[in-house]
Amino acid sequence: MSIKIVMVVGARPNFMKVAPLFWEMNQLPLVFQSVILHTGQHYDYEMSKVFFEDLDLPEPHYFLGVGSGTHAEQTGKIMIEFEQVIQNENPALVVVFGDVNSTLACSVTAKKLFFPVAHVEAGLRSFDMTMPEEINRKITDTISDILFTPSRDGNENLIREGVERNKIHLVGNIMIDSLVTILKRINPSDEDKVFQKFGLKKNHFALVTLHRPSNVDDKNNLWKIINFLSHLSLRIPVIFPAHPRTKKNINGFNTNDAVNGNFKIVEPLRYREFITLEKYPRFVLTDSGGIQEETTYLNAPCLTLRPNTERPMTITEGTNELVTFENIEEKINLILSGNWKQGKLPKLWDGKTAQRIVDIIKRMEL
Ligand code: UD1
């Protein structure tokens, strides 16, 4: 009998993490039966469906359609819906990814019904409890039975928190598996099309993504950012694919007052378009976790507008640095004058993480 595994996804950064594992398990149909459950935390076409298309994922087996709401509403709705499904499916293992509300909701629900839980991307810590993701990570890690970590700092954090060593497996960064795959699928003519579409030249633009509540929910702060970016665009073209919540907040502004060089605010991009741009920026400015990692892999300079990161390897080994409003100008000058550090690849960010996870799960008695 095959091992039934329910894999939970909900928000954009989950999709590139489930795909490699789904395909790896799919190669062993006699060993695994994998069920993809999408909570519907992200539901817009460009936040969800396009990722399934670009990652060649089938329609999810379950779509809970919970949508947005406050943290409590969203988490609660996911728990209520997930409880029904999981009891019907009765899987041998539930796999959750990353740090979004769906990760927390489904790991807690599964665990209370005595289903074993595996957490992929375990052990990351920003040590900033004002971030909803930090709460989601800590709770999920505390109750999970199997913890797959992307880098050795993850192991260190978990061990310090008292997690038993035999639950922790350093497997590498699964998101890099998807990145490696999509890079092989993007050919030079695809790249030309993307650059034409956005009217940009390779290595001569800044790619910006900002969506963290700390940056975009405070109107004054967001206005400061938008103003800064429009000034920056007098020096270098700026493209800003804006997350729906960022977009909503920007829509409240009268941006006519902003200086306008070459500054484009566009809809969220599909995976293959975003990666194409991310391959050739002069630099990236972001507050996303995944983008700090992708730029390290791609050796693209990355400025992270946050006071902390749960992904320190991207700074110590990669191309990333944290910036504030006080020093961002100085850091941009360094990049534009060609004086940025060269990164190296953290260990096990090699596109084979899903394989390592499957090998470990196969050996377990579930
Ligand atoms: C979530 C994750 C965050 C991740 C981000 C990536 C949590 C706590 N946060 O944040 O870690 O980095 O996804 O995108 O889980 N909305 C839409 N359409 C959508 C999805 C959202 O319009 O498809 C709008 C809604 O108004 C919603 C808001 O965006 O209220 C925020 O969505 P939500 O899923 O609650 O959190 P994110 O900010 O996307």
Task: State the distance from the centre of ligand 1 to the C-alpha of 11, rounded, in angstroms.
Answer: 7
Tens digits of per-residue pLDDT, 243-264? 999 998 988 776 655 667 799 9
Task: Confirm if 293 and 179 have CB atoms less than 8 A apart.
Answer: no
For ligand 1, what atom is nearest to the CA of residue 136? 8
SS3 263: strand
SS3 144: coil
38, 42, 119, 211: the catalytic one is: 211
Tens digits of per-residue pLDDT, 286-333? 999 999 999 999 999 999 999 999 999 999 999 999 999 999 999 999
Verdict on whether the full-model pTM lies above 0.85: yes
Return the CA Rg of the chain. Answer: 20
> Which residue minimizes the CA distance to atom 14 of ligand 1?
12
Tens digits of per-residue pLDDT, 188-244? 999 999 999 999 999 999 999 999 998 999 988 999 999 999 999 999 999 999 999
Region 66-83: mean pLDDT is 98
Helix (H) / strand (E) element for 261: namely none
Helix (H) and strand (E) counts in the chain? 16, 13
Residue 36 corresponds to which tokens in the numbers above?
A: 């993809």
Nearest to 283 by CA among 228, 243, 337, 349: 337
Spatial distance between the Cα atoms of 113 and 7, rounded to a whole number of angstroms: 16
Give the model's pLDDT for residue 251. Answer: 85
The reply to whether 119 belongs to the active site is no
DSSP label of 319:
S
Residues near ligand 1 (Cβ within 6 A): 11-13, 41-44, 47, 68, 74, 99-101, 132-133, 211, 243-245
> Which residue minimizes the CA distance to atom 17 of ligand 1?
244
Residue 248 corresponds to which tokens in the numbers above?
A: 């909503």
Place of tokens 């983008």: 291
For ligand 1, what atom is nearest to the CA of residue 132? 8
Task: Confirm if 4 and 94 have CB atoms less than 8 A apart.
Answer: no
Q: How confident is the model at residue 110 (pLDDT cuts 50, 70, 90)?
A: very high
Helix (H) / strand (E) element for 169: namely strand 168-170
On average, the pLDDT of the chain sits at: 96
